Amino acid sequence: MFRKYCGQDKYLLSEFSCTTHPHSYSLQLLSETGVMGFFAFISIYLILVIDFFKLLFNKNYNRYSFPFLTVIILNLVNFMPLFPSGNFFNNWVAISYSIPFGFYLYFKSKIRS
């Protein structure tokens, strides 16, 4: 709701100071989708962390283990909750995290079977 108040004189720093978008996926999802959207985001991130440690300490490797580990690391860096990022709902940014997440789902199905 800051966009309603950013035009007031007490918030004015310069003519370009009225920015209304958060620079973090977690803050944006928390402000735009509420607690449920933020909970879904954190749940997916925790699943990625759990899969990372399961694969890291697994003794039985197959031909999909290394690509799966690489894709998990890519997704962990992509969805890092505290890193600055762009708009989560932007089309270009959506491509940059949807494709690696699709590879994650593919390799996860190959590891299970």
DSSP SS3 for 86: coil
Per-residue pLDDT band at 20 (split at 50, 70, 90): low
Residue 22 has pLDDT above 60, yes or no: no
Length of the chain: 113
Cα-only R_g, the chain: 18
Looking at per-residue pLDDT, the higher value among 19 and 96 belongs to: 96
pLDDT tens for each residue of 59-74? 888 899 999 999 999 9
CA-CA distance, 8 to 17, in Å (whole number)? 11
- Provide CB contacts within 8 A for 72, sequence distance 6+: 48, 51, 52, 55, 104
% of the chain beyond a pLDDT of 70: 83
CA-CA distance, 91 to 25, in Å (whole number)? 14
For residue 42, what pLDDT is reported? 94
